[in-house]
Structure 1
């Protein structure tokens, strides 16, 4: 029986009230509660929170979807929709739809991702600046953006302006990257994908652009690789690059050694996890929308995570189906997958996705109305206005949707199937084939009831490989599509589900579990006689170790009668994991080549693409990365990204770090694994005429980490001057990378969050801050950290300013009377210097120096 739904309350809640209620909702899961409150609870620009738990959010969404449903025959009721989306159990709108549906406080889009581009392939300054402006306008409405640079003429080409020759791709990569870093999205940084064809003569410069530290930090980069280049690599032959790309009458061309450039791509990916690769001929060949290329649907780039290839000015909304919830009697011998319920819910999910397009069109109309009412001149507003008209046209004509999944790893484990095994791969393919057939069937049925997407033409699609695959799998579906058309031009994707999987409490997307169990530490109060002490470190501090279980691994333990509240030794934990379906099925265990083959097999049933990362240990060689990329092309993947542990900081927690914690090889004054929440002090100071600010995370009143940069400036942190303390909270972005947020209580009693401290400061400051923070975390005395900071030999005047600021901020925490080693008094040359209230004081002459 459907649940009765009531209208959401209009009262407001404090951050603390919402967090406590959400913590209870998520059964004590602190991270899930914080993510929901900070990212998805309905709030206005003053920080007032209108939803106490996700139940309130799901009622808000259900009410809006039911309103759209009422426009069409056989509508779903509000209660029916609510039952499908409640508790994150079955159907989960992702990101922008979750935050934006029914939200009256933001004029924003429901689309998760956009692609833009110059229809005429113009590389004039006017065309390049137009793209820059469009990118910014989309990002301010919460969207991630992708665009391709293949239309820009190569370096050294003649131009008819004062420069005489073109600067090439890289300066414009930096421009677009900087624009991304400047745009705030509810405290977040925007997301950008830049791509270029391997056929472009400047492709090598593009591939190398991010290898220079601090360059193009605001964008992901991917290379569009064609079959001709891959075949040239395989055959060790030459390859001809052209401008315009693939032109029969190029203005510029050069012959290169394909294998040499290939090795550079592989090396850079091995070293820094970029560039990613897009197998462009596979994308274009398989793309159903490309059947309408002459009508403006030619795919040109992808969204920032690569799972949605799009044409210019098209966008997509995302939704995930929680696969774990369709396993009946999970983790038992009787476990089975309920395909009947699953098929019904896939159809409902596709219907909901189509409703969300109608809601998006309303949002776009609101954006257009906002633009028209803005006080700027028509000339200023023209680009933004035309941008949203173009986006509206594509949404109306194509009605593109993005149904995906989460919890694939947990689903397989619950069925007793090993992730990455032959049986596991076969079952995954069956799941995604089912989604494809049932989603397309629902779209055909919706066309019968609601009308096909306006430009549908079965004759255009008749040779498309994906459509022919559907015909072979279900001939009746194919002929129904010929008769009634289809409601949506393309339907499916597999996106990353970072925050979504935190709230579903499952593995993310198509990925396996990262670790089923790991240990954390908490410091023991020496006055607590009842506390358990597992070890004492070299400075005399006592520590208790406790175990953290992956949610579904814990469920497996309970079902199999294994206690979850016992303090297990590492040997006991290893034995427990060995008995479980997660054994040798983590992201570090799965055979990498087999995972690539799985992705290629699943890709056959996904009309867009798949966002998946191949996680590799630090010690793999470059040759393996090349083998994986080659296998991905041969397996039919549309794109692939590798991440070698340690090649880029802040993406994944290394397995070796966990081993180090578990084996207690390094005992320090601080926990090796950073606590999620730290108390923080704010220290302000002035260097020359610049105002600076430091956020200092503390444990037991001692500095543990530091973030420093310019304050009260459009390029820096805007924080009321009365704020002196707060919290630094470690969270994760949608792509899995780490983020550090600062939270403080405003004068009205509400908590305000600044998201992404690491993105608020110059990347160079951030890199050095990581160095200093690492020394603090591993117990280096403050005065030693100050000495280390002062000893850095830096060329840039601004970095030296930063260095001085860090030293000044840290000196405040040096205990009075501490000797300053290796420093001498400027006044009398004495080496008898001590710290007094953060200032260096000479014991011989009394001279004092601060800063």
Structure 2
């Protein structure tokens, strides 16, 4: 069957806008901020599956959100009006719903959840293949509804454990890490991939294998990984003692134990984090001890893992939605001696933000009903639908019963600068702690008021919570609030978080989350036509495109400049820019300047007033040593942090640390593969489309790394009579009766029968075959994959078909480039940054978040 592209009219009489119309209107809205305009149009403007846009500027979006939240408000006492809500949302000034809520509220064109975060699991009782496959299916079902997912692997038996099936012994954790990672990479979410967190307890006998899993190139590229560190392990490291691992990890009488060198394993964690920024660390005893929901662990609220960024620890089948309060907007007379923080307005708005979060839970319950309805109406067999339906019913129960929320903040760095406080200083940290204490008190106060008006969350019990450290701190700070909570209950089981607010901060035009400013001044590039008059060409890239360089000022740094009499349009020499920055409150307060230990201590102080967790990164220079990473981790543990991520400049999986190391790797590339081609190779099948042509690539691999590639036009839509379900097989080297060599592809069909396609070498165009042999030779000699991609891309052909083949080869090979590898010579088309890296086969700019796939 052949499907043709046909024009499709929008499914409504609503006014629609072209991409260009919405971009131009949004560019005016964001006062010329090209990046903010593009991010909003591409990620958040309401659109249907056919690409029709129904919103022209963020004003339309905020009106949509306000209308829906006001609809829910009418169900309760003292409802806020749509106009009141709109005024708080408008211009991203005060209250900013994030991700799922911003995209999904009032969106009838997608059947998706409003939740940003989910955790799933086997609820502590199953590590059978059936249970493991169930989790795999559940994470995919959640990701297709746009949610980020986390789950823990500590329940899986360690490698070598006896099992009662044909394997006889367990394969351990690592193979299932790869399975879950691959499933995540397969799920598309409106132009992005799914997001996954995998965690394991340090008590697990396979913890070391888990920690090392991502160091192997091309492995577990679709997941973040974090280790759940327990206090007794840290104490063993401090004392230089042995440490006992066990399975099950929480059993009083375990089935299996293994004594390890605690310091040795600790040094491995530190080394891997220094080298590749993973694994992340979760101080698990702190998380559980501080967790308010864990007061109800026996009722199903035992925390088992976190969402992909680590800021929401969750029990199985619970979820959370996120909202941020823009701290900068509460600074009056910013960047002047008269600057002050308006605590009265801030307190009022935090209470409203918590109330809006509770309204969004009701909207989420409506969405879940829609998802369940969609599942019920699907034509699939009930047996196929049962796992997905059962999962959403569990999520629905947790949302109704616990009503968990995620109120947070953004623009902490800009707020401090506007008040004349240098990020990382003692004064700034003390003020930040007071801000977050205020957030906690007012959000909990709002939840108590709602409990009085709307009813407490179903299982609230004051006696269960009375000894919880978070609740005790709230009581010490405000006894009346505590007494009211005991009397009326609380509407929400847990309330607070601090998320990364990545693209959100681009639209608030502020610093992100609690992070400091990245850089107050930086350079960007824009593509120009060198033949246009009055165009200044500063840079010509490797493909001949011309670029103009221009200075970009951080938005709030521009406010400081204006207030202090500096001209925005003046072309400042480098020395003048440096002198200007030195006079500003952003001086020595960037992400690379802040004292690392102080930042960790700041996180610990703030954490005491956040009942979930905090997403924050400690940025280190490239020359930072491993010993520093270890000291930072210990300081984080002792400071009361729930988790910590350390990122050393350039330390991504697969990134070569220096030119010297790169030369060392390339001096002995032949050691990567056997000198003689094996008879059989594991193979991946990659399908792609250039213009209207369908292509297929067969990639032979050794240890997951490409060894050879054959690709060309497919004979029909099934790809040389290859079922669409086939994604892997074997490439087998054979000999024809006349003595000539050929390469066959063999796969196993759904019925378990092997099928062989003979002669890849003559299925494809001879020209493609010859170039494939050339590229395969380069791969076999161990050239780094990203350099092979660069080589293929740089080939020059006059024939369009050959160019399409070239693009397909590059696209297929990009999937094997280790995440974080720098794309040499690549420049971000949005911000002009040269810091472009590969991530899941796409080119990602970490500086501005822009991604390009294919």
**TM-score by structure 2 length?**
0.77
> Does residue 458 of structure 2 align to residue 454 of structure 1?
yes
Distance 1:90 1:489, change over 3 A: same
1:807 aligns with 2:792: yes
Distance 1:160 1:394 in 2: 35
Q: Hey, what does 1:794 align to over in structure 2? A: 779
Residue 21 of structure 2 corresponds to residue 17 of structure 1: yes
User: Structure 1 residue 68 and structure 2 residue 72: aligned?
Assistant: yes
| 1:97–1:540 distance in 2 versus 1, CA, 3 Å | closer
Q: 1:378 to 1:796 in 2, by over 3 A?
A: farther
What is the aligned partner in structure 2 of residue 368 from structure 1? 372
Q: How many Å separate the matches in 1 of 2:787 and 2:233?
A: 46
Choose from 46, 51, 60 the match for 1:47: 51
Partner residue, 1:196: 200
Match for 2:384 among 380, 383, 387?
380
Indicate if the aligned counterparts of 2:694 and 2:717 stay in contact, CA closer than 8 A. Answer: no
Quote the residue 1:241 is aligned against: 245
Offset at 1:272? 0.4
Is it true that 1:181 corresponds to 2:181 in the alignment? no
Residue 555 (structure 1) aligns with:
559
Cα offset, 1:636, TM superposition? 0.2
Aligned counterparts of 2:571 and 2:321: Cα–Cα separation in 1: 44
Question: Does the CA-based 8 Å contact 1:685-1:805 persist in structure 2?
Answer: no
Summarize deviations over 1:494-535 as a string: whole Å, max 9, x none. Answer: 001001000000000000000000123457766566455779
- Label 1:156 to 1:65 Cα distance change in 2 as closer, same or farther (>3 A): same
1:94-105 matches, within 5 Å, as 94-105=98-109
1:788 positional shift: 15
State yes or no: 1:359 paired with 2:363.
yes
Matched, 1:565 2:550: no
Cα separation, partners in 2 of 1:303 and 1:813, compared to 1, 3 Å:
farther
Structure 2 contact 236–242 (Cα < 8 Å) conserved: yes
The answer to whether the aligner puts 1:31 opposite 2:35 as a matched pair is yes
Question: Match of 1:405, SS?
Answer: strand
Report the alpha carbon displacement of residue 543 of structure 1 after superposing the two structures with TM: 7.2
Distance 2:409 2:786 in 1: 48
Q: 1:520 corresponds to which residue?
A: 524
Alignment of 1:88-487 (within 5 A): 88-487=92-491
- 2:587 equivalent in structure 1: 583
- Relative distance call for 1:458 and 1:542 in structure 2 (3 A) is closer
Q: Which position in structure 1 is the counterpart of 2:630?
A: 626
Secondary structure at 2:622 match in 1? coil
Report what 2:732 is aligned to: none
CA distance in 2, matches of 1:128, 1:136: 13
Instruction: Give the conservation status (yes or no) of the 8 Å contact 1:182–1:715.
Output: no
2:484 match: secondary structure:
helix
**Structure 1 pair 616/541, CA: closer, same or farther in 2 (3 Å)?**
same
For the Cα contact (< 8 Å) 1:122–1:151, is it kept in 2? yes
Seen in structure 2, the aligned counterparts of structure 1 residues 519 and 801 have a Cα distance that, compared at 3 Å, is closer
Tell me the equivalent position of 2:825. none
Residues 811, 606 of structure 1: alpha-carbon distance in 2 compared, 3 angstrom cutoff: same
Equivalent pair of 1:417/1:581 in contact (CA under 8 Å): yes
Could you report, residue by residue, the CA deviation over 1:776-812 in whole angstroms, capped at 9, with x for unpaired residues? xxxxxxxxxx999959732399999996996387222
Q: Could you give the per-residue CA deviations for residues 562-582 of structure 1, whole angstroms, max 9, x where no partner exists? A: 011111111010001001110
Name the SS for the 2:91 alignment partner: helix
Superposition deviation, residue 121 in structure 1: 2.5
Deviations 1:181-235 (A, max 9, x none): 0111122100000000000000000000000010000000000000000000111
For the 8 Å contact 1:789–1:807, the answer to whether it is kept is no
1:715, 1:319 → 2: CA distance?
45
Are 1:488 and 2:492 an aligned pair? yes
Q: Closer, same or farther in 2 for the Cα pair 1:490/1:709, shift >3 Å?
A: farther
Report Cα offsets for 1:726-763 as digits up to 9, x if no partner. Answer: xxxxxxxxxxxxxxxxxxxxxxxxxxxxxxxxxxxxxx
CA drift at 1:814: 11
Distance 1:535 1:179 in 2: 41
Give the root-mean-square deviation of aligned CA atoms: 3.3
Instruction: Give distance in 2, aligned partners of 1:310 and 1:528.
Output: 56
Taking the aligned partners of 2:78 and 2:554, their CA distance within structure 1 comes to 41
Tell me how far 1:544 sits from its aligned partner.
5.2
Partner of 2:669: none
- Aligned-residue offset at 1:377: 1.0
Deviation, structure 1 residue 715: 13
Q: Which runs of 5+ in 2 are unaligned?
A: 1-11, 659-688, 700-709, 720-770, 801-854
Helix, strand or coil at the partner of 2:258: strand
In 2, the alpha carbon distance for the partners of 1:359 and 1:591 equals: 42
Of 78, 82, 100 in structure 2, the residue corresponding to residue 78 of structure 1 is 82
Change (3 A) 1:590 1:812: same
The separation in 2 between residues aligned to 1:133 and 1:802, in whole angstroms, is: 36
CA displacement, residues 434-464 of structure 1 (integer Å, 9 cap, x when unaligned): 0000000000000000000000000000100
From 589, 604, 612, the counterpart of 1:600: 604
Q: 1:714 to 1:187 in 2, by over 3 A?
A: farther
2: CA distance between counterparts of 1:423 and 1:306? 28
Residue deviations 1:309-333 (CA, integer Å, cap 9, x gap): 0000000000000000000011111
2 CA distance for matches of 1:583 and 1:595?
Answer: 16
C-alpha deviation, 1:545, in angstroms: 3.9
TM-score (norm 1): 0.78
Give 1:28 shift. Answer: 0.8
Q: Give unmatched runs, 5+ long, in structure 1.
A: 1-7, 655-680, 693-707, 717-785, 816-851
Matches for 1:803-842 after TM superposition, within 5 Å: 807=792, 810-812=795-797
* Structure 2 match to 1:614: 618
Closer, same or farther in 2 for the Cα pair 1:686/1:292, shift >3 Å? closer
Change in Cα spacing, 1:537 to 1:261, as seen in structure 2 (3 Å) is closer
Tell me which moved more, 207-216 or 178-187: 178-187
Q: 1:814 to 1:107 in 2, by over 3 A?
A: closer
- Contact 1:790/1:804, CA 8 A, preserved across alignment: no
The CA deviation at 1:135 is: 0.5
Q: Which residue of 2 aligns with 1:743?
A: none
C-alpha contact 2:276 2:653 (8 A) present in aligned 1: no
Structure-2 separation of matches of 1:26 and 1:231: 51
Query: Which of 632, 642, 645 in structure 1 is aligned with 2:646?
Result: 642
Secondary structure class of the residue paired with 1:811: coil
CA gap of 1:423–1:379, structure 2 versus 1, over 3 A, is same
Question: How many angstroms apart in 2 are the aligned matches of 1:319 and 1:210?
Answer: 32
- Report how far residue 554 of structure 1 moved: 0.8
Q: What number of residue pairs does the alignment pair up?
A: 698
Of the three residues 502, 510, 515, the one matched with 1:511 is 515
Q: Residue by residue, what CA displacement relative to the aligned partner does 1:79-107 show, whole Å, maximum 9, x if unpaired? A: 00000111100000000000000000111
